[in-house]
């Protein structure tokens, strides 16, 4: 869940800013708008971007940084960018598009479950979003540093019979 929701936080933040700063202003006569029109002349609907290089989240982030005159994340913080790429390409991609090769599953899940520290991808999402606030000269919001909405008091672990967990025989 941490992997998926961390990815979704970055994507939602990016998509909002992409829409606001690039898509909604693509008909203006500035350098970025001219770049957009030259690079994507056939794109008439926002959903058509999925079939271009901007369908890749990292490319949308780079385009927003160019549009807003921000330093690129991969230049300012290569470690954060690498962790972001691992989140997107390795962990999230594996969970959303699983391939049933036992060796791949064992390798990917082993890394995710045993080698990835708890909360790592949440920190990556916060770091990516924080980059935009800092580049804009704004103080990052408090919710990037700690949870302001929920308080967790524990988790109940329910133990049942194996057939309750594994499903019906033969499935």
Examine residue 51 and state whether it is found in any structural domain, yes or no. yes
- The DSSP 8-state label assigned to residue 23 in this structure reads I
Helix (H, G, I), strand (E, B) or coil at 105: helix
pLDDT tens for the chain, 171 residues long, are 888 889 999 999 999 999 998 888 887 887 877 888 888 888 888 889 889 999 999 999 999 998 899 999 999 999 999 999 988 877 887 777 777 788 888 887 777 776 677 778 889 999 999 999 999 999 999 999 887 887 778 777 777 655 555 555 554
Mean pLDDT of the chain: 84
Examine residue 171 and state whether it is found in any structural domain, yes or no. no
**Domain, as residue range, for 106:** 2-166
pTM: 0.77
- What residues have CB less than 8 Å from 125, skipping those under 6 apart? 6, 7, 9, 10, 87
Distance between CA 109 and CA 66 in Å, rounded? 36
Examine residue 103 and state whether it is found in any structural domain, yes or no. yes
- In the prediction, which pLDDT does 44 show? 87
Examine residue 19 and state whether it is found in any structural domain, yes or no. yes
DSSP class per residue in 28-95: S-SHHHHHHHHH-TT--SGGGGGGSGGGSHHHHHHHHHHHHTPPPHHHH-HHHHHHHHIIIIIIIHHH
HSE of 124 in the Cβ direction (CA atoms, 13 Å)?
A: 29
**Tally of domains in the chain:** 1
Examine residue 82 and state whether it is found in any structural domain, yes or no. yes
Examine residue 120 and state whether it is found in any structural domain, yes or no. yes
Distance between CA 62 and CA 81 in Å, rounded? 11
Distance between alpha carbon 166 and the CA centroid of its chain, in Å? Answer: 31
Q: Residue 116: count other Cβ atoms within 10 Å of its Cβ.
A: 16
- In the prediction, which pLDDT does 81 show? 96
């Amino acid at each position: 869940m941490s992997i998926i929701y961390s990815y979704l936080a970055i994507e939602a933040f990016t998509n909002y800013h992409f829409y606001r700063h690039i898509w909604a202003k693509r008909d203006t006569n500035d350098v970025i708008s001219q770049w957009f029109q030259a690079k994507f002349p056939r794109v008439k609907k926002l959903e058509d971007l999925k079939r271009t290089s901007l369908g890749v989240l990292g490319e949308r982030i780079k385009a927003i940084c160019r549009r807003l005159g921000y330093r690129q994340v991969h230049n300012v913080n290569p470690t954060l960018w690498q962790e972001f790429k691992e989140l997107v390409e390795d962990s999230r991609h594996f969970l959303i598009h699983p391939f049933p090769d036992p060796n791949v599953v064992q390798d990917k899940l082993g890394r995710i479950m045993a080698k990835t520290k708890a909360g790592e991808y949440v920190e990556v999402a916060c770091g990516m979003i924080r980059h935009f606030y800092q580049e804009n000269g704004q103080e990052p919001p408090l919710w990037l540093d700690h949870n302001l909405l929920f308080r967790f008091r524990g988790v109940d672990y329910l133990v049942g019979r194996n057939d309750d967990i594994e499903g019906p025989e033969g499935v």
